[in-house]
């Protein structure tokens, strides 16, 4: 139950990111900060279990990605899980700020979350994956954490030999 898929379908990851941009954008634009509850839950659920317990992840993997199978691109799961954990930390921070009565600070944090989510959704550039790569390059993460990530820094990430439909 607490596993994370490997490989991850980049189409689904980008779809999830588009959902995050939409939810955070609506929360910021309308000041309906209760939406932060769902953002935080989704990130925590995806970081812990992949798409299994995340409604957004489930929709991305079961509805959207199969319809875009032509563009299916498997990428290593470990960096995507790290990115989801980073998103969880940011979304939980925003939620904590909102619950503490600091709506303006919550809006600022959510607006900051929109930037990396937009980069993933629009360009397929995963900020969390790049930070993961820096950690590997600096020796903070052993190569055994993600054997197929050996060339993640160049943008040509190695892909595990299994080509399952597991996704972010």
Q: For residue range 129-168, list pLDDT tens digits in order.
A: 999 989 988 889 888 888 777 654 454 444 333 333 344 3
Res 137: pLDDT? 87
pLDDT confidence of residue 153? 47
Evaluate whether residue 51 is within a structural domain.
yes
What's the average model confidence in pLDDT over 92-115?
98
Look at residue 93 and tell me if it is in a domain.
yes
Write down the number of H helices and E strands in the chain. Answer: 7, 2
161 versus 91: the higher-pLDDT residue is 91
- State which residues form the domain around 27: 8-124
Q: Is residue 153 part of a domain?
A: no
pLDDT at res. 149: 76
Is 41 contained in some domain? yes
Assigned domain for 146 exists: no
* Helix, strand or coil, per DSSP, at residue 59: helix
Cα–Cα nearest to 152, from 89, 56, 83: 83
Which runs of consecutive H residues, i.e. helices, occur in the chain?
10-30, 35-49, 55-59, 65-67, 77-99, 103-118, 127-137
Count of domains in the chain?
1
Q: Could you read off the pLDDT of 41-88 as tens digits, one per residue?
A: 999 999 999 999 999 999 999 999 889 878 888 899 999 999 999 999
Structural domain includes residue 137: no
**N-to-C CA span, the chain:** 14
């Amino acid at each position: 139950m607490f596993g994370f898929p490997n490989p991850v379908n980049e189409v689904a990851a980008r779809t999830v990111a588009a959902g995050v941009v939409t939810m955070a954008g609506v929360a910021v634009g309308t000041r309906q900060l209760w939406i932060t509850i769902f953002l935080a839950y989704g990130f925590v659920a995806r970081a812990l279990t992949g798409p299994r317990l995340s409604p957004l992840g489930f929709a991305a993997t079961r509805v959207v990605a199969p319809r875009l199978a032509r563009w299916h691109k498997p990428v290593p799961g470990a960096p995507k899980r790290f990115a989801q954990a980073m998103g969880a930390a940011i979304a939980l921070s925003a939620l904590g700020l909102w619950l503490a009565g600091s709506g303006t600070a919550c809006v600022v944090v959510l607006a900051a979350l929109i930037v990396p989510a937009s980069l993933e959704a629009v360009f397929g550039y995963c900020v969390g994956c790049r930070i993961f790569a820096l950690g590997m390059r600096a020796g903070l993460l052993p190569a055994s954490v993600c054997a197929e990530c050996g060339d993640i820094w160049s943008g040509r990430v190695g892909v595990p030999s299994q080509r399952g439909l597991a996704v972010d």
